[in-house]
Structure 1
Amino acid sequence: MRGMVITSAYAVRHSWRRFLLSGIARPLTVLVATSILLSGCQSLFDQSYEPNVSPSNNPQIVDEVQKNDPRAQMGAREHPRIVASYGGEYHDEKTEKLVARIAGALTAVSENPNQSYRITILNSPAINAFALPGGYLYVTRGLLALANDASEVAAVLSHEMAHVTANHGIERQRREEAEVIASRVVAEVLSSDLAGKQALARGKLRLAAFSRQQELQADVIGVRMLGEAGYDPYAAARFLDSMANYSHFTSVDPDADQSLDFLSSHPNAPQRVELARRHARAFGPEGTHGDSGRDYFLNGIDGLLYGDSPQEGYVRGQTFLHGSLGIRFEVPAGFQIDNKVEAVLATGAGDVAIRFDGVADNQKRTLTNYISSGWVTGLLPETIQETTVNGLEAATARASAERWDFDITVIRIGSQIFRFLTAVPKGSPLLQPTADTLRATFRRITPQEAQSLKPLRIRVVTVKPGETIGTLAARMMGTERKLDLFKLINALQTGSTLAPGTRVKLISE
């Protein structure tokens, strides 16, 4: 959470077996504009589509990024919003040179070698990459931390470059604008009856199918670029495996079946891995083609910031700490904390979700008056009451909306109000104990505690004689699952061993 974030309303979304809290009530037009421009990767693929993975005989040419290019203008307009929503830009000279080197090699063999690109490393621990029209490419430092060689980063960048050269952003805009208009008409004419809902669902399916076709095309072009640039064409499949393993590692419910989330922005990993391998076979058997670029990649990410940045506070196991704000709290055991720019989110079993953020308190209202000031939907006024939280002025209340029950806790420190919103399915017995844990553990931290907080970084080390996966994993920081995370960020399989002289990644201060 970056300092103080002023939000105007709360909204709740339920995703397949996971519950996240939306932070800012934004107009529909803003949400639509952002979704149009991000080339999000959809999850299911039409396996009847048989692409040609040979070098392109008919490249799809787009103009070089220029001020008078409408594509570039679109990208330039959205660029500041993207950067702000992902924690700003991440600047490190050697890491930026690494990404530029990879992108340069890919550009030379792209569908349009004259296309210019503006590549931004986003200061976010999330694992993501996407493109805007006009050659704006984005990759998060979280993705760079997970990758294990230059070929894997090249696989991601080539895929996103393919979205640009194939004009997917423009095509998607036209299709989504039509769907938005159609959806608005359906909503107005048919209201919320069954026919209206079915019509809206059909519109979403058409959008998903269109996006899947785009993703297939970008996959094919991307793998071709990998091979022609001299990188390992099988890197795309390898990194898809790593992303699937990371998703499993971070999941609150690792055994949950995610395949039914039809409109998920994450790929259906097993199917997509096989498709990527099929495309790569055009360049020969696995292990016989291309340079992985592992050594210069590791040199480029040594010292890379890992996880949360100091401006957003730190997650350490079940604890959130923020040195600048001078606070800390804990979530119950088994919860997964997601520290986003706009708020701290946490999800647990039983569809329990927590949101934490803060607002400036300029009016000096009582906290009971603040709770009842209109920002809580479904508030039960009779439940509002004053209290204290570890000696701090506080107030609590309950709310109920649709299928959810909520606990609201607000705490004042100086001119700031910190807010907890806990949500559970109606009637769940987990609401009270979850909210109690938050209140019991929220407190100020001492100046000494704040000073001791340091960010985590990727450290590249060389395996010495006698060192094992276990002894190296024991040096990991910032996680209770040291062995699992060490194997994950180094793409090590069960039964793997490390020979002396091998270079590996550790996470430490």
Structure 2
Amino acid sequence: MTTGGTTWQKLLRLGAVLTLVVATAGCQLFSRGVTISDPVIDTPGPPTGESTIGAREHPRVVAAYGGVYEDRGAERAIARMVGRLVAASDNPAQSYRITILNSPVVNAFALPGGYLYVTRGLLALANDSAELAAVISHEMAHVTAHHAIARLKRAEATAVVSRVVANVVDDPERQKEALASAKLSFARFSQIQELEADAVGVKTLSKAGYDPYAASRFLKAMAEFSNVVSARGAGDQPDFLSSHPTTPERIVKARNAARAINAPGFGERGRDAYLNSLNGMLYGDDPREGFVRGRSFLHAGLGIAFTVPGDFTLENSKEAVLASNGSGTALRFDGTNVPASMSLADYLRSGWINGLISESVRDTEIAGQPAATASAVAEGWSFRIAALRANGATYRFIFATREPTQSFDLAFRTTISSFRMLSGRERAELRPLRVRIVTARQGDSIDRMAARMAGIAPDRRAELFKVLNGLDDDSELQPGMLVKIIAE
């Protein structure tokens, strides 16, 4: 991955490293080519103007979300339900193209013309066919109601208002009020669309013979999953909640919509068949993008690893590996192109670091590899930077904080000192995480099952196990019950 100096000057000047870390999570470390394959489901229908927009944007969506995820079990699970939902929808003649995206983010969305997307992260969170059908019927409702086009036009109008206000209104406070009002209006407009799609989706769900309460159940699961998993997205991949806000009111409305149609117990859930279709599905980071294992990042392809201090939460994003702690310190680790003829100290002095303290630049070694370190101060932010060469590549550690205490320096030194080269055996033994479907036996408990989870921080295993399986604190595992665990 190549990171330009201009971009980094802006990042460092604005102190945006911290914002980036808090707001993003899991995808890839280095950019790579993406092969675009055909969508999983393609229902017939005449081309429209909206489908032209969808076709134009489809390759960009696929590339941004790591490509198409191919899994015959997941594809069959979707294929079994999509025909029923189309037949039960408000417009059975509408054409749909459904793509499974290779992303751990929990997301689903629609483009104009019937282009629907679900991520493998969302498939892993759903607990039965009805919950997945609820997501798809919701997105189909957006298509039949032409919400995407309406939202695009509203967004364009909001942007025009913002430009006019910025150009015409001299009073900064009036500017702020007018812009806030425009944004609030757009947010309300979007919320109304979501509630409308919920209502239509629940009706379609029930008409197709699925449990209509699955919609409220999955909305609740997504909210709980967001609380358990620290990250809300993957780099430039927003999660479902960023565009589909889940509030208690929305969950209640979805439940009331289901209650108005049928009493609980009506409709198909298809739990066991759906769970079996997930067995072996990739979970979390794609192997090509490296692995987060607790507080360590390991990349078999690059042959490198490092570990962050115990109070840091580590995430793997599209542009970099990111981490932050509860004290306002953020970390970014990435790769960059530096000419072999240029020393790392000269690279640090080459102008891409805003506020560089020249006398702080030091040549050193990290894990026996040539390296250089430096400090910088800009716009109230303090930075500690390290650059190192390993296996012909150049890597950067960048720490940022507004309060440069001794613990900040210690976290920086501890992290860069942990950098190491993986042995051939370690690289060969690294395995991706996968969803495994196992059968509960007599005496199995939530804690016992959670202890079998791999690649998950110990303090998050039980909560993640409960969320992934739709369980609460009072739930008990029954012998013969199928459950999801995450294993290598």
TM-score range, shorter-chain basis?
0.7 to 0.9
Unaligned runs of at least 5 residues, structure 1: 24-62, 254-262
Matched, 1:212 2:191: yes
Counterparts of 1:427 and 1:21, CA distance in 2: 23
Aligned to 2:117: 138
- TM-aligned CA deviation for residue 72 of structure 1: 1.6
1:333 aligned to 286, 310, 313, which one? 310
1:200 aligned to 170, 179, 184, which one? 179
Aligned to 1:442: 419
- TM-aligned CA deviation for residue 364 of structure 1: 3.7
2:440 aligned to 463, 467, 470, which one? 463
- TM-aligned CA deviation for residue 416 of structure 1: 1.6
Counterparts of 1:22 and 1:6, CA distance in 2: 19
Aligned to 1:477: 454
Aligned to 2:289: 312
Matched, 1:344 2:321: yes
- TM-aligned CA deviation for residue 470 of structure 1: 3.2
Paired letter, 1:71: E
3-state DSSP of counterpart to 1:19: helix
User: 1:106·1:229 contact (CA, 8 Å) conserved in 2?
Assistant: yes
| Aligned sequence identity (%) | 48
User: 2:345·2:372 contact (CA, 8 Å) conserved in 1?
Assistant: yes
3-state DSSP of counterpart to 2:22: strand
- TM-aligned CA deviation for residue 5 of structure 1: 5.5
Deviations 1:374-428 (A, max 9, x none): 4334444443332221221222223334343322222212432112222222556
Matched, 1:501 2:480: yes
Alignment of 1:374-453 (within 5 A): 374-427=351-404, 430-453=407-430
Counterparts of 1:138 and 1:310, CA distance in 2: 22
Relative distance call for 1:205 and 1:166 in structure 2 (3 A) is same
Aligned to 2:34: none
Deviations 1:171-207 (A, max 9, x none): 1111111222332343345589333333322222122
Relative distance call for 1:79 and 1:252 in structure 2 (3 A) is closer
User: 1:115·1:135 contact (CA, 8 Å) conserved in 2?
Assistant: yes
Deviations 1:88-140 (A, max 9, x none): 11101121111222222211111211111111111111111111111111111
Matched, 1:274 2:252: yes
Deviations 1:35-59 (A, max 9, x none): xxxxxxxxxxxxxxxxxxxxxxxxx
1:19 aligned to 19, 22, 26, which one? 22
- TM-aligned CA deviation for residue 300 of structure 1: 1.2
Question: Aligned pair count?
Answer: 456
Counterparts of 1:22 and 1:490, CA distance in 2: 22
User: 1:242·1:488 contact (CA, 8 Å) conserved in 2?
Assistant: yes
User: 2:88·2:204 contact (CA, 8 Å) conserved in 1?
Assistant: yes
1:244 aligned to 223, 226, 229, which one? 223
Deviations 1:460-497 (A, max 9, x none): 11223343333322222112133232222111111322
Counterparts of 1:246 and 1:423, CA distance in 2: 28
Aligned to 1:71: 50
Aligned to 1:121: 100
Which segment drifts farther, 211-220 or 341-350? 341-350
Paired letter, 2:300: G
Deviations 1:324-343 (A, max 9, x none): 01111112213222212222
Aligned to 2:202: 223
3-state DSSP of counterpart to 2:259: helix
Counterparts of 1:374 and 1:191, CA distance in 2: 36
User: 1:283·1:289 contact (CA, 8 Å) conserved in 2?
Assistant: no
Deviations 1:47-82 (A, max 9, x none): xxxxxxxxxxxxxxxx97655x33122222222221
- TM-aligned CA deviation for residue 302 of structure 1: 0.8
User: 1:252·1:336 contact (CA, 8 Å) conserved in 2?
Assistant: no
User: 2:195·2:250 contact (CA, 8 Å) conserved in 1?
Assistant: no
Alignment of 1:42-61 (within 5 A): none
Relative distance call for 1:265 and 1:429 in structure 2 (3 A) is farther
Counterparts of 2:170 and 2:319, CA distance in 1: 33
1:284 aligned to 249, 253, 262, which one? 262
User: 2:25·2:231 contact (CA, 8 Å) conserved in 1?
Assistant: no
Matched, 1:293 2:270: yes
3-state DSSP of counterpart to 2:314: strand
Q: TM-score, normalised by structure 2?
A: 0.86
Aligned to 1:82: 61
- Bigger share in helix: 2
Relative distance call for 1:337 and 1:210 in structure 2 (3 A) is same
Matched, 1:157 2:136: yes
